Amino acid sequence: MMHQIDRRRGLLTHRSAGLTAAVLAVVTVVVAALLTLAGSPPRSHAAEHEECRPDGLYSGSGVDVPYCDVYDTDGREKLGSAHSRRVIGYFTSWRTGANGAPTYLASDIPWNKVTHINYAFGHIDEQNRLSAGEDHPGNPATDMEWPDVPGAEMDPSLPYKGHFNLLNKYKKQNPDVKTLIAVGGWAETGGILEPDGTRNPTGGFYKLTESQASIDTFADSAVDFIREYGFDGVDIDYEYATSAQFAGHPEDYWISNERRGELMEGYVALMRTLREKLDAASAEDGTYYELTAAVSASGWILRGAETYQVTQYLDFANMMTYDLHGSWNQFVGPNAALYDAGNDNELEYWDVYDTPVYDGIGHLNGDWAYHYFRGAMQAGRINLGLPFYTRGWQDVSGGTNGLWGEAPLPDQDQCPPGTGGNVGSEVPCGNGAIGIDNLWHDETAAGDEVPSGVNPMWHAKNLEEGITPDYLEDYGLDPNEEKNQITGDYARHYDSTLVAPWLWNEQKSVFLSTEDEESLATKARYVADEGLGGVMIWELAGDYAFDQDANGGEGQYFMGTTLLDTINAELSGAAPYGNTKANGTMPSEVLDVDVEFTDFALGDNNYPINPTMTITNNSDQTIPGGATIEFDYGTSAPGSMIDQSGMGLSVTERGHSGPNVGGLDGDFQHVSLTVPSWQSVPAGGTLSLQVRYYLPIATPSNFTVTFGGQSYAITADYPRGSGGDTPPTSTSSTPTSTTQPPACTEPAWSETTVYNGGETVSHDGHRWRAKWWTQGEEPGTTGQWGVWTDLGPC
């Protein structure tokens, strides 16, 4: 999410919680006592809450979480009578009217057209606490006022002013709408934007997740923060926890590159801690607090994100299914294509279509990203991201009306930080559109325009209609400069396979990737038909309407609700979203079994993707040799997963095969393996094997274990009905296998021998596989990220 970073964002710190939770707790106890005296004992809270918990949501907090406050008994979120799917809008802190720019305040939000509002952004302060900036006059979150704006009058009952006051004022009038504090974003994942507009690269999430103590401090402060300021939860915008080099903000490379092998582990610890502390606060306050995340949709970033092991902690994931193409490189393509069309020139450059192991699957589109996350969570906990902004290039050559053309920056020595040769890339950086084609531009530290073709959709509509607007100076554009004047025609084009519109100015060779009613109606129908939970929008202020009286009476497009109206019209009356991870019936009996994937290579070295899968039997019985273990993974990867440990793991049913032009056919590739007859898994024991696949997948799900004529689901999937401190397990006894595994048959490791990737050896009673070329590195000493993968004892 390349969020705009040129605006000031300040927030305040937090104070202690009020008396509301204590009063509510007393009332709850009194009501329960009265019901008991009347002869109608209250229903078990644990049972009631469990039946409302969404399928797959983590339930290990050890408290009675009031899921039924937010979810119904089918585990679906209560969205109010006007909505059956989520419509989540990001509301930014910096459109305050400072420097004469137009405002977009909480009073401008069409509250009846959204279900959630994510306030962007909070950050991590230098004491590892969730913060909104120093307490200073004019802080937009808690101090600023807008006395001349109708509807922006402060609620005098609240002890703070600013955006937080107005959000709570309007939430009182719209109680079905939830508000969340979004933390991080492009600019503040690894730093702090100071009130004067400078950025302090503190390390942010990258630094925070180095220690559990820091994580605990942050999570405790997050609870304090939402209690004080009336938020319904926390949205984590960590960009990005990946082992890919040069990901995220260029000013953070000093720490993100250095720690890239540990970032996912820290991210998981952060989200688990937040989930547990928010659950505890929910139980204490009697109101449920949500935990969500903005998640990457880029196949390149996700290749370095292991199996995105945080999905179990999220109420829902907001996919950033945009910024899939942009001027960071020369390849001219859509910002937010829904589907692949089989001719993406960036993917062609990297031989994705022609490399057989990829099966022709293009991975720069929303449908691919959805199926990535669908492999780990139900459709209803996934939201499709929609951009209300453009991206664009100038001096485009080739392509069809610019689409799939190229636009390299003429002087590659001038590439922006994080692009081109600055990060050792062989791909030229792009020539971003500027001036009137770049209204919502970022600025460098020196105050120079960052070329990127970013515009709100209302400005793009004015360009399309040839309307010279009256607001250019408000955004720092001098109308007298040639680059800030409309030249040529901006003709709209549309690709129905991609579901992507764009504007092409042939005279200027400018390409702007847009969204409009046609594309968003199609995307909303996709959400409804596929059972997704809804949509997420960056950002609300980019929506448009035509103002007949503006621009000297000639009329122009400006901020409005046209796109939101289109989305809501298509989602209106949609069937309830998908609420189960599996597409079929899962076993009712649950076995206490955990599954973990480890030993991932870093970033671009993660090819093929061949982690170790470890199955841990925490139950009180043995999983015998001959037992069948089955699971699903998403069709984001081809149906060609195998194991490299000789256990015969294979895909037994494919949800999709071949290229994904126009969308992936099904949700899952189904896998089966049989526990070797000589290798039972006793209580407390493990079974490890190395698997191999070629495109990223989120954590596989829908595991079943079958033996003795009985099939079991497993606790690692957190199935509905298996909540509580002690999930149910079967107590039937199964004979423990006494057959010993065979002795090591691989050659013993030698310090002087050269080993290539894939070769196996024996050492210290274990089998080991080399990930790449090595000599002299002893197995067992190279660590999780080293060359040797432990294949288990022999």
Structure tokens at 740: 């010993």
The residue whose two tokens read 């809804």 is 534
The CA distance from 207 to 193, in Å, is 16
Structure tokens at 484: 């800030």
Overall size of the chain counted in residues: 794
The residue whose two tokens read 């997704």 is 532
pLDDT over 70 percentage in the chain: 90
Tell whether the torsion through CA atoms of 742, 747, 750 and 755 is positive or negative.
Answer: negative
Tell whether the torsion through CA atoms of 580, 581, 584 and 585 is positive or negative.
Answer: negative
- What structural domains does the chain harbor? 1-139+172-324+377-386+517-538 (3.20.20.80), 590-717 (2.60.40.290), 745-794 (2.10.10.20)
pLDDT of amino acid 167: 98
What are the pLDDT digits (tens) for 703-733?
Answer: 999 999 999 999 999 999 765 443 333 333 3
The residue whose two tokens read 């105050």 is 447
pLDDT of amino acid 531: 98
Identity of the residue numbered 237: D
Q: What is the largest CA-CA distance in the chain?
A: 89
Q: Are 242 and 250 in contact (CB under 8 A)?
A: no
Lowest mean pLDDT among 329-338, 418-427, 746-755: 746-755
pLDDT of amino acid 477: 95
What are the pLDDT digits (tens) for 9-63?
Answer: 222 222 233 334 333 443 343 333 333 333 333 334 455 688 999 999 999 999 9
Query: How many helices, marked H, and strands, marked E, lie in the chain?
Result: 14, 30
Cis amide prior to 147 (ω within 30 degrees): no
The CA distance from 576 to 592, in Å, is 31
Which of 733, 648, 629 has the alpha carbon at shortest distance from 683? 733
The CA distance from 223 to 536, in Å, is 24
Q: Which element (helix H / strand E) includes 254?
A: helix 253-256
Q: How far is Cα of residue 329 from the mean position of the Cα atoms in its chain?
A: 23
Structure tokens at 2: 């390349």
Which of 333, 343, 286 has the alpha carbon at shortest distance from 66? 286
Q: What is the mean pLDDT of residues 427-434?
A: 98
Lowest mean pLDDT among 290-294, 681-685, 784-788: 784-788
The residue whose two tokens read 């339930």 is 59
Alpha helices in 383-533 (DSSP H): 457-465, 517-530
Which of 598, 528, 535, 596 has the alpha carbon at shortest distance from 563? 535
Identity of the residue numbered 344: D
Burial of 405: CB neighbours in 10 Å, binned 0-12, 13-18, 19+: buried
What are the pLDDT digits (tens) for 727-759?
Answer: 333 333 333 333 344 467 788 989 889 887 667
The CA distance from 52 to 579, in Å, is 11
Phi, psi for 293 (deg, rounded to 5) = -150, 145
Higher pLDDT, 787 or 398: 398
Structure tokens at 617: 């039997």
Structure tokens at 658: 């071949």
Q: How far from each other are the two terminal CA atoms of the chain, in whole angstroms?
A: 47
The CA-atom distances, in angstroms, between 514 and each of 322, 443, 500 are: 11, 22, 7
DSSP string, 569-626: HHHTTPPPPP--SSSSPPPSSEE-EEEEEE-PPPGGG--SB-PEEEEEE-SSS-B-TT
pLDDT of amino acid 35: 34
Which of 102, 104, 95, 99 has the alpha carbon at shortest distance from 470? 102
Mind spelling out the 3-state secondary structure of 19-57?
CHHHHHHHHHHHHHHHHHHCCCCCCCHHHHHHHHCCCCC
Give the strand pairing for 382-387 and 534-538: parallel
User: How many CB atoms are located within 10 Å of the residue 31 CB?
Assistant: 11
Q: Which residues lie below 8 Å from residue 20, measured CB to CB, with a gap of 6+? A: 285
Q: Which element (helix H / strand E) includes 267?
A: helix 263-285
DSSP letter at 203?
Answer: -
The CA distance from 544 to 472, in Å, is 16
Q: Are 54 and 68 in contact (CB under 8 A)?
A: no
DSSP string, 164-181: HHHHHHHHHH-TT-EEEE
The CA distance from 93 to 221, in Å, is 20
The CA distance from 686 to 617, in Å, is 6
User: How many CB atoms are located within 10 Å of the residue 259 CB?
Assistant: 18
440 pLDDT above the threshold of 60: yes
DSSP string, 630-689: EEEEETTS-S--EESSSS--EEEEES--S--BT--S-SEEEEEEE--TT--B-TT-EEEE
Q: Which residues lie below 8 Å from residue 709, measured CB to CB, with a gap of 6+? A: none
The CA distance from 160 to 142, in Å, is 5
Which of 460, 443, 461, 463 has the alpha carbon at shortest distance from 451? 443
What are the pLDDT digits (tens) for 152-188?
Answer: 999 999 999 999 999 999 999 999 999 999 999 999 9
State whether residue 144 is helix, strand or coil: coil
Structure tokens at 126: 């230098």
Sorting pLDDT into bands at 50, 70 and 90, what band is 446? Answer: confident
What are the pLDDT digits (tens) for 518-540?
Answer: 999 999 999 999 999 999 999 99
Q: What is the mean pLDDT of residues 371-390?
A: 98
The CA distance from 668 to 688, in Å, is 23
pLDDT of amino acid 792: 65
Q: Are 520 and 385 in contact (CB under 8 A)?
A: no
The CA distance from 591 to 734, in Å, is 13
128 pLDDT above the threshold of 80: yes
State whether residue 204 is helix, strand or coil: helix
What are the pLDDT digits (tens) for 561-607?
Answer: 999 999 999 999 999 999 999 999 999 999 999 999 999 999 999 99
pLDDT of amino acid 769: 76
Average pLDDT, the chain: 90
Q: Are 464 and 456 in contact (CB under 8 A)?
A: no
pLDDT of amino acid 743: 64
Sorting pLDDT into bands at 50, 70 and 90, what band is 783? Answer: low
The partner residues of 500 in beta bridges, in order of sequence, read 495
Q: Which element (helix H / strand E) includes 367?
A: helix 366-374
What are the pLDDT digits (tens) for 339-367?
Answer: 999 999 999 999 999 999 999 999 999 99
pLDDT of amino acid 760: 82
What are the pLDDT digits (tens) for 645-703?
Answer: 889 999 999 999 999 999 999 999 999 999 998 889 999 999 999 999 999 999 999 99
Strand intervals (E) in 262-421? 290-296, 316-320, 382-387, 391-393
| Torsional class of 398: left (φ above 0), alpha (ψ -120 to 50), beta (otherwise) | left
Phi, psi for 177 (deg, rounded to 5) = -90, 130
Q: What is the mean pLDDT of residues 478-490?
A: 96
Identity of the residue numbered 94: W
DSSP letter at 288?
Answer: -
The residue whose two tokens read 């942050």 is 218
The CA-atom distances, in angstroms, between 45 and each of 22, 340, 405, 586 are: 18, 47, 60, 25
Strand intervals (E) in 138-282? 178-184, 192-193, 199-200, 233-237
Phi, psi for 208 (deg, rounded to 5) = -55, -45
Identity of the residue numbered 93: S
What are the pLDDT digits (tens) for 143-153?
Answer: 999 999 999 99
Sorting pLDDT into bands at 50, 70 and 90, what band is 785? Answer: low
Burial of 41: CB neighbours in 10 Å, binned 0-12, 13-18, 19+: exposed
The CA distance from 86 to 78, in Å, is 10
Strand intervals (E) in 52-107? 86-92
Q: Are 33 and 117 in contact (CB under 8 A)?
A: no
